[in-house]
Chains A and B, each alone.
Chain A
Amino acid sequence: MPQQYDAIVIGAGHNGLTAAAYLARAGRKVVVLERRHLVGGAPGPEEIYPGFKYSVCSYVVSLLRPEIIRELELARHGLEILPLDGTFTPMPSGDYLWRTNDHAQTFRDISRHSRVDAEAYDEYGRAMVEMGRFAKPILGMTPPDPFSLKLKDLKPLADIANRFRKLPDHDRYNQLQLLTMSAVDFLDQWFETDVLKATMSASGIIGTFLGVKSPGTAYVLLHHYMGEIDGAFRSWGLSRGGTGMVSESIASAARAGGAEIRLDCSVSKIMVSNGRASGVVLENGDYILANTVLSSVDPRLTFQKMVGEAHLPDDFVEDIRRYKFRGSSGKVNIALDGLPDFTAMKGVGPHLRGAISISPSIDYMERAYDDAKYGQFSKKPYIDIVIPSLTDPSVAPPGKHVMSCFVQYAPYDLRNDDGTPADWDDHREAFGDAVINAIAEHAPNIRDHILHRQVLTPLDIERTFGLSEGNIFQGELTLEQLFFLRPAPGWADYRTPVKGLYMCGSATHPGGGIMGAPGRNAAFVAMKGR
């Protein structure tokens, strides 16, 4: 018996839920259809090993748009962000680099390596904040379509160009550089300390198939710098209860607005008649009707699987086929019965409460990328480690801990030594071992405390979360598929060639990274209708 709604949202990830919450608040009758047994998408919390809540995929929050937190009253719905203080980088020499939100402590620690860099660090922070301010409105806008050559589309770009021209000279210079340089080149202009540059450049390659020396990674540095927590740009935090609480709180807000969320409900097809979306067909054969459908899953799934290329114009089909995913990351979640003891800073201390970065040098980072270019996972990977149980005891039993490791690089297209394609399932454990080995070089006791480990390869990420090729941002964040080119030229404003069908996931502007902005923007576009 077909049911009728005003709007269907496919996927209960943070973007889908955000879109649903806004639609519900506007009085629309909305249903969210989620394939898995829980909400959350990539942020989802899961108790894989009894007693331990892994943030299976994403692990920190910063970029969630403040207007979304405010407008959906997420705090009331259970969202609590605990500050994640600092980044600790152990070095093979036994030395370390440790930066925190405590300005004086950070200054002192950088000074140990270079006094000049300690002073430049503040200036750099200020410059990045300025650039964040310039970029922020661009994040929030719905991209114009400059290829229409219509005034209404060219004007926003002219406005951006004008704002750019009017920036103070040094900001202008920095902004242009950020757009095209490599993270290392950009940082080289500010700093001399290798381990500092290596750690900072790491945020330029998160979720991308690029190296820290690759042109285009300086831009991604800014992307990650634009977080706001309680008004402070850039600081990252943990969500109490695990990152899954982000989605849970948005789901709660959506339900409070009247939205319905159905789990274990997999969409097989989006129904299209006469070029219009008319609803969806579920895997079990049920129909759900609606004139407005928002898909938060990526373009490959949406268009190739659910809509079908036959319903789409040739140019668009070509563009979607060309849209690049290139998953490059893996995740290792570990249940520990004790804390890692880092040779560089022994014992339990505040340095374990922040992020621990295995990024000892620029060459280390770049070599990790080189391995991936030729189809190998990094023999010595870059790892971003967080131990959320130290800040949020609710995720592990007393005295025990959860360790979340984000790893690069793990290329989706794995190859054997002879160049033939390899199967990730056969190499999952070897990958997990490489990660543990890399950590053990700095904290030899880690192996003695592992109760359980969950290794997610790009293939696992694809299978579990519907993220094609395991790309965590639903598509590479490279300039040729950003802003008005994301996911396809002419279709960057959340609309699609199918009337009434909208895209609201990270494959639209402003891209990935638990911002919620695509969901919110798409909801407003959908509400305006055609």
Chain B
Amino acid sequence: MTDVIIIGGGLNGLVAATWLAQKKFSVLLLERHDQVGGAAVTTTSARGFKTPTLSHSLGPISADVVRALRLDRAGVEFITPDPVLTTFGSDGHAITFHRDHVLTAASIGGVSARDAANWQPFVQTMQKLAGVLDAINQHPAPSIDEPGAGDAWRMLQVGRRARALGRRDLARLGRYVPIAVADLVSEWFETDLMQAAIASRAVFGHQMGPWSAGTGALLLQRMAEDPMPVGGGVTVKGGPGALTTALASIASAAGVTIRTGARVAQILTRGDAAVGVMLESGEELPAHAVVGAIDPKQLYLSLVDPGALPPTFRQRVQQIRARGVLAKINLSLSGGPVFPALLGDDVPLRGRLLFAPTIDYLERAYDAVKYGRMSEHPWIEASIPTANDSDLAPPGQHVMSLYVHYVPHSDSVSHEGLLSRALDVLRPHAPNLDSLIVEREVLTPYDLEQGWGYSGGHIFHGEGALDQWWISRPLLGWAHHYGSPLSGLFLAGAGSHPGGGLTGQSGLNAARAISVALGRRRRA
């Protein structure tokens, strides 16, 4: 009998599967689509454009995961774009962020000397603070009911990290966790463009605005994953799917059996134990353990019979807030878009492009979704992957990927309306864009839910609010062992600690916890 069935062949599922297989568990990975990858997929369009259907950047992959799975030897060519991002103001100004902080400061200096001077100190301070969260992320959350020696040891490590900050920065960390990111950025920068560029990173993917409390913590979370405050935009040659394809090879080499086109309909239980799964086809697959590397609400509410879980647990899972607000637009372009604000310089197009000119702009965009409506003036992050990887499209042609905020989770959102608003935002900055579009694909949060199982269309499997984080992710009392009231049923997706975007850390943390749990069961 299979030791472990893993539901979901996204990044976390592949990481968990590979790690467990390397520890000599027999693993079967079930993916409902025809290709693995989850959010990290490359799809070839009708006209042959290789599109990053969902995510156009990776977390980046956590160093812990790279080490544990020897990803550096996987034959994957990571692309670290430089410059990383350019943000466009409404007045023709633009700021370009480079990996080199001196170049970045020079670009900021075109808008504000004071902000330029504060850039490096800001980055350094935030990286120091984020280091404490990184220490928290790398390990499972402690058990709050029965903290063990391991938990105490790990908390001590975090404490040491915190202490090393020194008094001033420790106080700063204490303030920055609950603060609204708009307040945080205004302590460092005076220009709208700088403030909004950083604030947008904090609110990315969540139903929050820059004035929402707790968005300071979200910025720190993003920086714990990726030291660039505006995000590094790390990707892979061949598109994000090349990574997951390579991972699938490593998984298979380690002994994982991967079945695609295999959608799980139900988790089979006997008493208070999970004993396997049943596919939509009716085929039953027994296993000692079942791991959902999928959205927690999908796992516990859709795949498990209601009677099999205690009502309180079920109710709390239902109450997990997962309100998706991000829509994805994929465009195939017959030529290169031109941005006059870049004054003929093509180099910034290697990085992502941000259209979020002021804090008020972000907040007004957010206001709409509170009332269930699409932002009249959305903010957009765009990527042109072909700028770094021309093989993704026919020669001279381009792929363009847009993240659009804020779009409500509703099946009545008009795809045409959404595309139209997005293009309205881009048109003043790239007047020739409309004429280049030969293919388009629009995915609303509702589409994300229907197509890929994100509850509410939330790309992080649940809001990164402070009460849905760490010891409360996915639920208070259940975070530490990635398990559930059903023995043998585990969660390994982004809905478990630490969550986050395409780092693989949740899968790795979960795999480690699961192997301990299974090891115990074996001995018992």
Contact = CB atoms under 8 A, between A and B. Distances in A.
Interface of A: 146-149, 165, 169-170, 172-173, 176-177, 179-181, 185, 189, 210, 213-216, 315, 322, 324, 363, 366, 370, 373-374, 478-481, 484-485, 489-490
Contacts of A148: 167
Contact of A180 (B144, B364, B465): B465
A350 to B, nearest CB: 36
B175 A480 contact: yes
Nearest to A326: B183
B171 A216 contact: no
A332 B477 CA distance: 48
Contacts of A185: 321
Interface of B: 144-145, 163, 167-168, 170-171, 174-180, 183, 187, 208, 211-214, 216, 312, 316, 319, 321, 360, 363-364, 367, 370-371, 465-467, 472, 476-477
A479 B167 contact: no
A179 B371 CA distance: 24
Given A322-B187, A479-B178, A215 B171 contact: no
B309 to A, nearest CB: 15
Given A147-B171, A181-B465, A215 B370 contact: no
A147 B370 contact: no
A66 to B, nearest CB: 30
The 9 A-B pairs with the shortest beta carbon distances in the complex, nearest first, are A489-B171, A479-B178, A216-B213, A180-B466, A180-B467, A480-B179, A480-B175, A215-B213, A480-B178
Given A173-B316, A485-B175, A149 B163 contact: yes
B370 A189 contact: no
Nearest to A216: B213
A481 B467 CA distance: 19
Contacts, number: 87
A148 B163 CA distance: 9
Contact of A179 (B174, B176, B319, B467): B467
Contacts of A479: 178-179, 213
A322 B184 CA distance: 10
A478 B175 CA distance: 10
A373 B363 contact: yes
A490 B212 contact: no
14 contacts: A176-B467, A176-B472, A177-B467, A179-B466, A181-B467, A215-B213, A215-B465, A366-B371, A373-B211, A373-B363, A480-B177, A481-B175, A485-B175, A490-B171
Nearest to B475: A173
Contacts of B180: 478
B466 to A, nearest CB: 4
Contacts of A169: 312, 477
Nearest to A209: B211
Contacts of A180: 178, 213-214, 465-467
Contacts of A177: 467
Given A147-B171, A189-B319, A480-B216, 19 more contacts: A146-B174, A165-B144, A169-B312, A173-B476, A173-B477, A176-B472, A179-B466, A180-B465, A180-B466, A180-B467, A210-B213, A213-B370, A215-B214, A324-B183, A370-B367, A374-B360, A478-B213, A480-B175, A489-B171
Nearest to B471: A176
A489 B174 contact: yes
Contacts of A322: 187
Contact of A147 (B170, B178, B187, B312): B170
A324 B472 CA distance: 29
A147 B174 contact: yes
Contacts of A315: 168
A216 B178 contact: yes
A170 B475 CA distance: 12
Interface centre among B176, B183, B213, B319 (most CB of A within 10 A): B213
A366 B175 contact: no
Contacts of B208: 215
A148 B166 CA distance: 9
Contacts of B145: 165
B212 A215 contact: yes
Contacts of A215: 208, 212-214, 465
A214 B213 CA distance: 7
A366 B168 CA distance: 36
B371 A485 contact: no
B277 to A, nearest CB: 29
A324 B182 CA distance: 13
Nearest to A367: B371
A148 B170 CA distance: 10
B468 to A, nearest CB: 8
A216 B363 CA distance: 17
Contacts of B168: 315
Contacts of A374: 360, 364
Contacts of A181: 465, 467
Nearest to B214: A215
Nearest to B169: A147
Contact of A485 (B144, B174, B187, B319): B174
Nearest to B171: A489
A478 B213 CA distance: 8
Contact of B175 (A149, A189, A210, A489): A489
Nearest to B166: A147
A170 B477 CA distance: 11
A176 B467 CA distance: 6
A172 B213 CA distance: 21
A374 B321 CA distance: 27
Contacts of B472: 176
A176 B476 contact: yes
B167 to A, nearest CB: 5
Contacts of A363: 371
Contact of A172 (B183, B214, B360, B476): B476
B161 to A, nearest CB: 12
A147 B163 CA distance: 8
Nearest to A177: B467
Nearest to B186: A322
Contacts of B175: 480-481, 485, 489
